[in-house]
Amino acid sequence: MTGPYDSVIGIEKETIVKRFLTGLPGRMEAARNGLELHGVLINADESSGKARAIERVVCYK
């Protein structure tokens, strides 16, 4: 997964909560702080397709 950690699907969480509570539309601003990337690297055996090794990848900005 990638994107701002402290958000709701990449949108500032305060905007989403306000929209949920009031039911009124509002301008959705992309969250810009706490960007993160989480994933894995998998070393697979080509003949069997099974994983030989797995490594976690985490990057912060």
Question: Residues 19-58: pLDDT tens digits?
Answer: 999 999 888 888 877 888 899 999 999 999 999 999 999 9
pLDDT attached to residue 31 = 80
- The pTM assigned to this predicted structure is 0.53
CA distances from 42 to 1, 36, 50 (A): 16, 20, 10
Q: How far apart are CA 31 and CA 43, in angstroms?
A: 33
pLDDT attached to residue 26 = 82
pLDDT attached to residue 49 = 93
More confident residue, 22 or 61: 22
